Amino acid sequence: MLTSIAAFTFVLGVLVFVHEMGHYLMARRIGIRVLTFSLGFGPKLLTVRRGDTDYCISAIPLGGYVKMAGENPDDVRSGADDEFLSKTKWERFQVLIMGPTMNIILAFVVMAVVLYQGADVPAYEEQPPIVGYVMEASPAEQSGIRVGDLILSIGGRPVQTWEELFVTVMPRAERELEVVLRRGLQEVTTQVTPEAQTQFQVGDLGVVPIMQPQILNVMTGDPADLAGIRPRDVITAVNDEPITRDNPFVETINANADVALMLTVVRGGQTLKIEVTPALRGNVGLIGVELSPFEVRTIEPGPLQAIQMSFEKNYAWSGLIFQTLGGLLTSETSPKQLVGPLGIAQLSGGAAQIGLVALFTLMAMISLNLGILNLLPIPVLDGGHIFIMALEGLSRRDFSVRIKEKIQLAGFVVLLMLMVTVIYNDLTRINWGEWLGL
């Protein structure tokens, strides 16, 4: 629990600071007087005054704000040039857009740094979605999907890789989808309803790629080392029997202590045959290797390649965000998948336990979400204020305070309904015994 709270505070603090700093810097650049820069809402716990600005840390750490002179029509105004509403619509637009823009830039920069560190990622993600195994009693099995089928499209969306398949299915739990397959020379169409998996209601068809174990490390002096097996070798068969979920590699090794086995190994694109005899250790046979259950590929980009990959990753995430938003409007995506502060805290804690790379990747994803969602034309959000200014520009007149209050109230109601939904989702996901230490 403490890890989740600390990670959540760190992630949210950085994202809010960057967002509000965008508003602050742009306001100062165009000559607007900033009265308050606050991390958090509510009562001010700590205040430092510099010039005309109070820099604060407030009691409720679920956001922040920048208060500018003459920001609202009902504020006491002197008509001075350093007040927000004294500026042109273009200047006010720059102030409003800069907060979300800074979050999007942060997502891009953080992800570029993360990718530049290098990583091992599943090789199957970029491979065609050929079914390697169908889970028993899964939606895929019930709809007649078979091992060897090539999935061409899901819900009318073409999928060319396993990564695209997962992204397409994830937000559509418990929604019937049309799946088009290629089986031999025929195209087959079937209807599948993905199951909701995990506490976040992630859609799952019940199919997995063809996955073959890869050697990560070889213990010196053990049977694998003596036989000539090397790190990065991919094991495809034992005694000419292909490795599958029905014929698992580890179980085969464990069951054949002191029995010579012929492994088919792929190394650098070449296929080799290597004989190895598992040694009896305790009650099982072992060959002395550390395994990945699937083949991995190593990403070691240079600076420019990391920047390009960050752009591609954020572009793909943006597509998923818009896909989810569209799915909420069309009922393709369940509102149960929405995550609020407690859910983000859980995710942050889990990522922190994995390591800094996972935590900063999560930060980049949330920052991108925050940037895009703040641009939506919903009153109260930055995008809502921009939308109102755009309408005023089109009508060539400023709306009255009464009209703006009604628009803001409508936006507040929408946000309130959204907050109730995400908080309810968070509360139903929490293992209260674990959080309370029971």
Active site residues: 20
Find how far residue 344's CA is from the centre of its chain: 11
Given the structure tokens 């069951």, which residue do they identify?
255
Contacts of 222 (CB under 8 A, 6+ apart): 279, 286, 287, 288, 289
CA distance 333 to 175: 8
Give the chain's end-to-end CA distance (angstroms, integer): 12
Residues 199 and 220: beta-carbon distance below 8 Å: no
